[in-house]
Amino acid sequence: MMMLTVAALLLTASCSKDDDEPQQVNPPAAAGARLQVMMVFAPGQLGDGGYADGLLEYASGMELLEVMPDAEDSIDVQFISLYSVNDTRQALKEWAATAAHPFYKDATYERRLLVLTEPYMTAWLADVKTNLRETDEVLVMKADEAYTQQVADSYSLGSRAHGLNYDLAPSIRLYCDNVRWMIDNPDYAPGFFGDKPEVVILRRFNTKQNYYCDGIEDVIRQQLGNDVNLTVYALADYVQADDLSEQTNVAYIQAAYTAAAQLDQHFQQTGYGFVIADMGTCNFGMLNYLLGSPLYHYEVVMLDSNPYTYNYMAICRDGAAVMTWIANWMRQPAAAMPRFWMADDSYVLQNFTEVLVK
């Protein structure tokens, strides 16, 4: 496993010439860009200024960076973001079926990178694996090394399957330190329904729908052990939706709002609790409740890409991580990138404006 430290890319730009010296203008390559990045987003995933928008913003910036010769003609960044999963899968099939350049007749991309922004999307590779060329590669976000290897084996991708994940452990350990400080306080009482404080993890999907490999539960058990009761809830268990779409995405956000309110009522009765919210776009639902209920009865840390200001916030630098990964991929020949990268500086935990991890 290689460690990928997210940092600013120091890219060498061509030196400018004197004003009186004629400038050579290179015409665009006849065949257009040689590389293509196709990012696949879930319905309703774009537009909240969070995880998905950060990925797209940083990846799109690759077109402006001189990371290889003739950079301005080297890469096209495109994305799929449609109303429903069925529409998304159909668009993915159409993309895989041809590597033709959309703007240059009789031209094809030399190499293509398919970026799946959620682990559950790997099931869609069954639709396209026979159309992927030997120079086409797949990057799965939020995957660990074992899951990436499983994808490579299941879809016969070999060294063309890659995973990129972020190390949440430092932020979660700090949050656990705060939990420990509070529950060790002699004035803290967990309530009359139990003799242990409660830690609740809120996810969007259950483990049958999505593979979570961020290690949150492991860190909590290591740091707090049997001193707390740990429970994991999935919004999907309470939302009746067969297909993820923009419409059902609204239902998920409403479910997150309801979950935040129910937790507040629960902890008001049982004693002050602790919540870790990792629901993606649905974090908005919880945020809306918290902003309207300043006296809620639990300490919450929200894992997201938006720097909200309440309780604790683990801010993900996922956009910078994927930009760094793609920049390295552009420099490498086909299938030369390592199987798995872990971004070791992707999250910072902040309490309001105080940054605790840098």
Range list for CATH 3.40.50.2300 in the chain: 31-166+317-343
Per-residue model confidence as pLDDT tens digits over 116-169: 999 999 999 999 999 999 999 999 998 989 999 999 999 999 999 999 988 888
Q: What is the pLDDT of residues 257-302, one digit of tens each?
A: 999 999 999 988 888 889 998 888 788 888 889 888 878 888 888 8
Which pTM was predicted?
0.79
Most confident of the ranges 73-77, 130-134, 189-193: 130-134
Residue with tokens 């399957």: 161
Tell me the pairing of strands 340-343 and 312-316: unpaired
The pLDDT, as a whole number, for residue 319 is: 84
Q: What does the pLDDT average to over 191-204?
A: 78
**3.40.50.1000, 3.40.50.2300, 3.90.1310.10, 3.40.50.11540: which CATH number matches 31-166+317-343?**
3.40.50.2300
Token pair 């390295």: residue? 328
Residue 242 binned pLDDT confidence (cut-offs 50, 70, 90): low
Q: Which CATH number fits domain 169-315+350-355: 3.40.30, 1.10.3470, 3.30.70, 3.40.50?
A: 3.40.50
Q: Is the pLDDT of residue 343 over 70?
A: yes
Q: Of the segments 46-55, 256-265, 344-353, which one has the largest average pLDDT value? A: 256-265
**pLDDT band for position 39 (cuts 50, 70, 90):** very high
Residue 348 has pLDDT above 80, yes or no: no
More confident residue, 119 or 68: 119
Q: What percent of the chain is modeled with pLDDT above 70?
A: 77
pLDDT of 155 reads 95
